Every structure is written in structure tokens, then in C-alpha cells.
Structure 1
Amino acid sequence: MSPTLRELRSPDWAAESVPDAVAVLLHGFGSNEHDLASLAPALGLNLPWASLRAPLELGNGGAAWFPIGTPGDPVPGPVEQATDIIWEWVEANLAPATRIVPIGFSQGGLMATQLLRTRPERVLAPVVLGGFVLGAPQPGDDSLRASMPALFWGRGAEDRVIAPVAIGRTTEFLPSHTSLVERVYPGLAHSINSPELDDVRGFLAAEVGAAAVVGA
């Protein structure tokens, strides 16, 4: 049996019985569900949101979506298993008509692309911050080539955490499978800064709707 993911939910979670879209926040390696919850007010997020805790416990309050092996080239099996676990959470907590807006950092950014690559019809405007794509083919890849959905990929020019091979793979994959909005931030390492948040806010306003964020 798959583990049940822990989560934090926005205060307005129950305000609408069946919202059109819900943001799903996906943290990076060694972090937890409290980390990206701070992005919601920073983005002026005006959607119900849930910040999920990854299933692999690391101790000291940290968790991961999958183990780190070869940097930038994770083993597909654990990544795909984590993807299935997120979809189980979605099915258990959201109505079938509700689309998800994945916002992920680092490992969580990879998981955001996994959600898009496995069930593209259920995903809207994914946001990938300091993340990358898995090397293995995924079930929705052919569909993405046809539909070319919008995706935001932001990363720091000084990021030394994500391996160059992963950046190269992502640079090749995303333009051929998505309508990519790519931003590289000078001076930024493996982190998120205010200009990136501003760009994400504008992206969500354009792709989800002006009402999705405040102050876009």
C-alpha cells in the first residue's frame, strides 16, 4: 500500500466544493510541507492550495520524493512511484473536474513535470523552479507534443546543485513538449528570488486567469 501523504492546506480549501483549479506545492530534497507554503502569500496565490510532504523520510524533519543517486539522472522507478503517490492523493482529495497547478522546487520541480507528463489533461500551467525532467519516456509525452501546454521553468544562473546533464536534458525536452516560458536569473544560486516570484505571478495570471493571483 502506498503511503498517505501529509499536507498543509490553504484556509480557503473548503470555500468551494469543486474549484476549477487547485495549486499543489511540491518541496525539494530534505525539506518538508512547510517550506513552499510560504510561496502562497509571496505569490499572492488566490487559488485553494495544498503543500504536500514527500513520502521518503530523511530524519530531522526532512523528506524527499526519491533517493539521490547519480546527480541529475535519478533512477526512473522511484520517481514514477512517487508520481503515482501524488496522483493517489489527488484522486482522494479533489473532484475529477478540478485541475491541478503544480508548483515545485528542485526535486519538487521534477515532480511537477512528472504530473504533466503522466496525466497532461489534469494539469494546468505547471511551474518548475530550479528543477528538471526525468530521462525516461512518460505516458503523456506524445500528447504533450500535440497540445504544447504552457509551462514555466525558472532557474538561477549560478545554480550548482542541478547537474549540467539534467539542465541539458530539460533544455532539449521542454521546448518540444510545452509552450515554454523559460527564465534564467543572473546571480541566483539554487534558490528563488523576488524577480522569479514576479514572473511566476505573471505566468499564473496569464495561464490560469487574472483571478488566480493578487497583484499580478
Structure 2
Amino acid sequence: MRTRIRDTRSAGWAQGPAPVLLLLHGYGSNENDLTQLVPHLQLGLPWASLRAPIELGSGAAAWFTITTPGSPDLGPVAEATAAIWDWVDANLDPAAPVVPIGFSQGGLMVTQLLRTRPARVLAPVVLGGFVLGAPQPADDELAAYRPAVFWGRGSQDTVIAAHAVARTESWLPDHTTLTAKVYPGVGHAIGADAIVDVRDFVTANVGVAHRG
């Protein structure tokens, strides 16, 4: 799995290994896409941006193939989830939490990390994404302690199927302490308001002070 990385060592984190921002791009993009968010988030955390495993050509990649929009097959999603965890286990300190930020397909992968190994995930951020319909190993655990999650999407986003949005609107409040934002006039994109909200959310839930 190819990556772009800014030093993932402790970065002076007083409480042990620093949390690591884990950037997960959307369908048809690549590991360079979400790195442009890092300077705007101003969090001062180490980060890694992963490339999805399925090559689409011309530099594009995907976490899973699209069969029925909004209802991906479980098998490929599970394989992609395992691939991300394999990278984390091989490259990060075992005690370092991951703070995953994902867009579109990458947003679904963020929820998969939370739904499979929640103890390793801190302040996950889903942008223009959705949750898988199939039950996942940690769903009951999540419903019991309801970790903080951010979900942002554009009011004009027509890329994510309506039934997937409805599923996510139902699942997230039942399993997490949700911060949900809908951005008027925004399509399938990450706007400036979302960046500010993500920065504030991560700062509040990870304990870092942004560097404004």
C-alpha cells in the first residue's frame, strides 16, 4: 500500500505516542488528495495518507469496486479494512491511536475502522461518506460507549445514494456520540466550513491545540 507520510513518531506527545491522522481518499482519487487538508487543519499531528488497494488507471485508486451504489459488497470492504489495519500494525507504534479522516469511499472506510477495532480509533471524521449495511464485529461495543464521531456532508451531494445517507442517519446516532453537519449548497466536496469544523472537532476530542 503506497503512502504519503509526515513523521509518524511521537512528535513530543506528552501522554505517549502521538495520535496519527490517517487520511483515506475517495473513489478515483489517490494518496495525494487529502494531504492538502493538513496545513488547513493546523493540528500539528503526525499523519499518513494511504492509497487504496484497487488500481483504476491514470493514478486513480479505489477501496472497493462499485456494484450497487451505496450498498457495496461486504467481501471487498472487509478486505480493504484488513489492508488498512495491516498497514497500521506494520508502520505505527502499537500504542498510537489513529484519527482517521476519510472522504466518500474513504469515509466509509473510516467507519469500518471504528466498527472493527474501536479501541485504536480516536475522533473519526467521515466527510461525504456513509456506513456499511452489514453488521460489524464491534457494533454492540460501540452502542454501549458511543465514541465521538464527526459526519459532514453537502446538502447538494447527489453522489452518495439516498438510501445510504438514510442508513447512516439512523446508524450513527444509535452507536456514537455524533456531531453531524450538513453544508448548504455544497455538493460532493469538502468546503472551507467543513475544514474548520473538523479542526474544532479533532481539537476537542483529541486534546490538541490547533496552530493558528
- On whether the aligned pair clears a TM of 0.5, the verdict is yes
CA deviation vs aligned residue, 1:121-143 (integer Å, no higher than 9, x gap): 00000000000000000001011
* In 2, Cα distance between equivalents of 1:14 and 1:98: 9
Query: Equivalent residue for 1:25?
Result: 23
> Gapped runs of 5+ residues in structure 1?
none
CA–CA distance in structure 1, aligned partners of residues 43 and 161 of structure 2? 30
2: CA distance between counterparts of 1:25 and 1:15? 18
Q: Figure out how many residues of one structure are paired with residues of the other and give that number.
A: 209
CA offset at residue 8 of structure 1?
0.2
Deviations 1:78-120 (A, max 9, x none): 0011000000000000111111000000000000000000000
| Structure 1 residue 43 displacement after superposition | 1.0
What TM-score comes out, normalization by structure 1 length?
0.94
Instruction: Determine if the alignment matches structure 1 residue 87 to structure 2 residue 82.
Output: no
- Write the distance in 2 (CA, Å) between the matches of 1:39 and 1:122: 22
**1:1-216, aligned counterparts within 5 Å?**
5-10=1-6, 12-14=7-9, 16=11, 19-211=17-209, 213-215=210-212
Change (3 A) 1:96 1:13: closer
Distance 1:164 1:16 in 2: 41
**Conservation of the 8 A alpha-carbon contact between 2:18 and 2:46:** no
Q: Give aligned-pair identity as a percent.
A: 62
Residue 44 of structure 1: how far off its partner (Å): 1.1
* Aligned mates of 1:97, 1:134 — CA distance in 2: 27
Q: TM-score, normalised by structure 2?
A: 0.96
Give the Cα separation in 2 of the matches to 1:15 and 1:168: 39
- Alignment root-mean-square deviation, CA: 1.2
